Structure 1
Amino acid sequence: MKRPTLRCRATLALAGVWLGVATAAAQDQTTFTVGTARAARGQKAFGAIEVPAAADAGLSIPVAVIHGPRPGPVLALVAGSHGTEYASILAVVRLIQSLEPASIRGTVIAVPLVNPRSFHAIVPHPHPVDGRNMNRRYPGSASGSQTDRASALITREVLARADYLIDFHGGDLDESLYPFAYWPRTGREAQDAASRAMVLAFGIDHIVLSTVRPPDASNLTSISGASSARGTPTIIVEAGHAGTTEPDDIRVLVDGTASVMRQLEMIDGRPAPIERPVWIDRIERVPGGTNGVFQPLVRRGQYVEAGMKVGMVTDYFGRKIADAVSPVAGVVLFIRAVPSIASDETIAYIGPLAPPPR
């Protein structure tokens, strides 16, 4: 079935017609299985995606399946690729608990914690087993390291089953992050229209315009990049800062997901899309440049001018080594939250504003 245009979708929505294009498996199966989680229609099931041992240890990735009694799309919710982005992990945990199968049209696949080893070791960014970034190895490899094998199984068990995907992130232990989202654009009109509708429905007002880089044998990508490259409307959402679990950050992610589910007509009610989004052209990185002690001079969410000092680096006696300067005018999407800094680390992300995309 050809996907309706946005105008057609709005007309059909008024008539109460479900607008998603669900997989045949989701519509026809009386049970829906992901990993060891097997849910009959109208049920919620818990299990794991089991990554077998190889050159390094195996891994058990938790997964929940919420299989509604009525047909509808398959929505995947994935969090915890970086195990100390706690607010996003807890948001998916809360969604698993709060979503009632009887109220859902379609199916939700929820992976609250892709990287349990990082979570329990309290290690931001790289996976502690193999040192790789668990959000940079998709579509993965069945014969690679633990990160590669996990990515391959998530590709098969989650990405290949999803009609829509939301990738949850947030401020890691060293990142004081302002809530923002990404709209990944592929150049495919129908897919981009669907993901744009999702990101607006989610309701986070700062939205980064990103271009999907398709993966190939030598050019691995993120979970959102791999999902988008498969033709699945996908968005990335970020909330939470410096490893905290502020209720407002968790609420932004939970409420945004519910609004997207209403937009997809998976649950009853009207979505609450953002009316005046702040579009961001790209992300400009402010590098560490040197080793030392970092002192921030700006806050997350603050607007800065090109050439403005966003922080400084001192030696261990407090003597200034270097200023950290914004290369562009824009909004501070995150500023480093801890005083330690190394030359290859990041001090800040600055988002220059963009005109509304057509």
Structure 2
Amino acid sequence: MEKITIAGHELTSGKTIKDHIHVGGTEIHIPHVIICGEKPGKTVLLTAGIHNAEYVGIQAAIELSNEISPKDLSGNLIIIPLANRSGFENRTMSMVYEDGKNLNRVFPGDKDGSAADRLAHLLFDAFIKNADAYIDLHSGDGYETLIPYAYYVGEAPAHDMAKKMVDCVNTKYCVRSTCTTGGAYNIASMSGIPSVLIERGQLSLLPAEEVKADKEDVINILKFLGLLEGEFVTYPKTELREFSDDAPFTGCWYPDKKVGDRFSKGDKFGEIRDYFGKTLHTAIASTDGVLIHQCSSLSIIKDGPMVTYGIIQGIC
């Protein structure tokens, strides 16, 4: 049998590897865990912390890395519990500390670029491209509320398999994404690797029930993919087409709706006001839909996130 080498580690049946890998040209070292099953099977990658303040996925990945045993596994499970480590250690929300770039906008990266570019290149070259399937865990950022949902790239080569993975996620909604660039799971999808992104959690909080739900989703997908024994469960979903309205002004944000609300064309999302209380902008819905995440801090920044919503496509 041909030996598999991941991030410089030759994978050995029944072994668990816990290590750090250095991002060349930086001082960043990324923690990773490789659980090598006692039986042959697929190699699946799980990442969290690409956005470093999205804590639910990070904690779920840490716990799974200690709870899944090689004796229960067919194939290999690679877990990167904290992709943007320097951002986490400096509380930079979505950004890589060294260069201020959003890591999930620069994949597949550049080994000769700035820190975020180099980090993305390493993650893609050492891990993502060597996976047979990929699960990426995200949440609402420190200023965002969010309902749980999952993404897959609709036009990707392996979209049929990705959709089946999404079916294993216990959420009410999924988004068939049209974005094929920039993000880790987007680039993986367009490289022929069936990939899903799960959104669960908000405001940099860490509710135990949401960590548990993330773990259950990952385990359910691993059962579907054959890495773990047992019956997997599928969940019907409403499929959405996603749209976002960014803020046209910096100021104070006063939302009128909560995430999960259905709305109609002409409904008011909220207002941006200046520091004297004068209305600068009234955000109005241009279509019917459902609000899936939004800025929920008083502070809102021009050209930054304001509201993201889905237009219902049907039941899938």
TM-score (norm 2): 0.95
Letter in 1 for 2:239: W
CA contact (8 A) 1:259 1:272 kept: yes
Residue 354 of structure 1: aligned partner: 313
The within-5 A match list for 1:197-276 is 197-213=164-180, 221-274=182-235, 276=236
1:321: Cα distance to partner? Answer: 2.6
2:22 alignment partner, SS class: strand
Kindly provide the CA deviation profile for residues 156-212 of structure 1, in whole angstroms up to 9, marking residues without a partner as x: 111121000011111110110111101212353xx2221111010122221001135
Matched pairs, number: 316
Residue 62 of structure 1: aligned partner: 31
Letter in 1 for 2:202: H
Letter in 1 for 2:13: R
Residue 319 of structure 1: aligned partner: 278
1:272: Cα distance to partner? Answer: 1.4
Which of 121, 134, 140 is the equivalent residue of 1:165? Answer: 134
CA contact (8 A) 1:63 1:109 kept: yes
CA contact (8 A) 1:34 1:49 kept: no
The within-5 A match list for 1:90-239 is 90-186=59-155, 188=157, 191-213=158-180, 221-239=182-200
> Structure 1: which 4+ aligned runs deviate by more than 4 Å?
36-39
The within-5 A match list for 1:278-357 is 278-280=238-240, 282-356=241-315
Structure 1: distance between partners of 2:109 and 2:279: 43
- Taking a change above 3 Å as real, the CA distance of residues 88 and 324 of structure 1, as seen in their structure-2 partners, is same
Letter in 1 for 2:7: G
Give 1 or 2 for the bigger CA radius of gyration: 1
Letter in 1 for 2:276: F
Does the alignment pair 1:48 with 2:7?
A: no
1:113 alignment partner, SS class: coil
1:88 alignment partner, SS class: helix
1:81 alignment partner, SS class: coil
Kindly provide the CA deviation profile for residues 273-318 of structure 1, in whole angstroms up to 9, marking residues without a partner as x: 10x21110x2221221112111121111111112211111222133
Q: Which runs of 5+ in 2 are unaligned?
A: none
Q: Which deviates further from its counterpart, 256-265 or 284-293?
A: 284-293
Structure 1: distance between partners of 2:9 and 2:55: 23
- Taking a change above 3 Å as real, the CA distance of residues 187 and 51 of structure 1, as seen in their structure-2 partners, is closer
TM-score (norm 1): 0.84
Q: Which runs of 5+ in 1 are unaligned?
A: 1-26, 216-220
RMSD value over aligned CA atoms? 1.6
Percent of pairs identical after alignment?
Answer: 25
Structure 1: distance between partners of 2:149 and 2:286: 20
Structure 1: distance between partners of 2:37 and 2:280: 58
